[in-house]
């Protein structure tokens, strides 16, 4: 594929990852932090932004590690361990950088970073990237799109839950129950995006 078709493909993949193939609403990855941190829009935006950043960077790093290290050595099965190490190391590194160079940013964003290490969505994005055999440029689109999609989902959820904070909800449904129903309705809504862009 030449360069311009790759860029076009990357845009389509990015769009698909944001909406029709939303990593949270269609493949259910990243649910734990989603359910726990979606009460307020402010926290959600902070966590979402951190996820976008980490997801984009780590999928790219993992692409490099997979295709340039694991495949030539025929140890593809090792990717599970290697990807986790890359993600943990990257998050640790970023946390140190932010803490050193921007304490205010660290105060708003940095506290989410440890949460992200265990976020299955980050590992999941890397694994999907391997399975679907994306090229480097497509991976950039995919990583960014997945991150933004996850952020969209959690921010929308926070907004809805803030509005619903005063409603009366049955006891068994309070908390995660109602959140999941809202998530289901959002997933239903996102399906409406299918076919908007040709090729996804």
Q: The tokens 């932010």 sit on which residue?
A: 98
Least separation in angstroms between residue 180's CB and another protein is 4
Q: Is 171 in the site for another protein (CB under 8 A)?
A: yes
* Given 136, 188, 192, 196, the residue binding another protein (CB under 8 A): 188
Least separation in angstroms between residue 38's CB and another protein is 12
Q: Is 170 in the site for another protein (CB under 8 A)?
A: yes
- DSSP code per residue over 127-166: HHHHHTT--HHHHHHHHHHHHHHHHHHHHHHHHHHHHHTT
Residue 150's nearest CA partner among 111, 199, 183 is 183
CA–CA dist 188, 186 (Å, integer): 5
CA–CA dist 20, 187 (Å, integer): 9
Q: The tokens 């929308």 sit on which residue?
A: 156
Q: Binding pattern to another protein, positions 38-77, x when CB under 8 A? A: -------------------------------------x-x
Q: Are 53 and 146 in contact (CB under 8 A)?
A: no
Q: Is 114 in the site for another protein (CB under 8 A)?
A: no
Q: Is 28 in the site for another protein (CB under 8 A)?
A: yes
Q: Is 12 in the site for another protein (CB under 8 A)?
A: no
CA 25 to each of CA 31, 60, 79, 95, 154: distance values in angstroms, whole numbers, following the listed order: 9, 23, 25, 28, 10
User: CB-wise, 73 or 165, nearer to another protein?
Assistant: 73
User: CB-wise, 134 or 144, nearer to another protein?
Assistant: 134
User: CB-wise, 53 or 78, nearer to another protein?
Assistant: 78
Least separation in angstroms between residue 111's CB and another protein is 18
Q: Are 175 and 4 in contact (CB under 8 A)?
A: no
Q: What residue ranges bind another protein (CB under 8 A)?
A: 25-32, 35, 75, 77-81, 84, 118-121, 123-124, 127-128, 130-132, 170-173, 175-178, 180-181, 183-185, 187-188, 191, 194-195, 200
């Amino acid at each position: 594929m030449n360069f311009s078709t790759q860029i076009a493909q990357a845009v389509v993949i990015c769009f698909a990852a944001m909406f029709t193939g939303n990593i949270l609403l269609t493949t259910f990855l990243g649910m734990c932090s989603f359910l726990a941190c979606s009460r307020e829009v402010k926290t959600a935006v902070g966590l979402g932004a951190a996820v976008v950043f980490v997801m984009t960077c780590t999928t790219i790093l993992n692409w490099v590690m997979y295709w340039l290290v694991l495949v030539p050595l025929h140890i593809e099965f090792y990717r599970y361990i290697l990807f986790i190490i890359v993600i943990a190391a990257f998050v640790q590194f970023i946390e140190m950088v932010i803490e050193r160079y921007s304490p205010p940013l660290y105060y708003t964003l940095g506290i989410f970073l440890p949460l992200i290490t265990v976020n299955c969505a980050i590992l999941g994005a890397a694994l999907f990237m391997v399975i679907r055999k994306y090229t480097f440029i497509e991976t950039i689109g995919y990583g960014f799109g997945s991150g933004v999609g996850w952020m969209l989902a959690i921010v929308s959820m926070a907004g809805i839950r803030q509005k619903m904070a005063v409603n009366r909800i049955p006891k068994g449904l309070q908390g995660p129950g109602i959140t999941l129903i809202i998530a289901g309705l959002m997933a239903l809504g996102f399906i409406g995006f299918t076919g908007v862009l040709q090729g996804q």
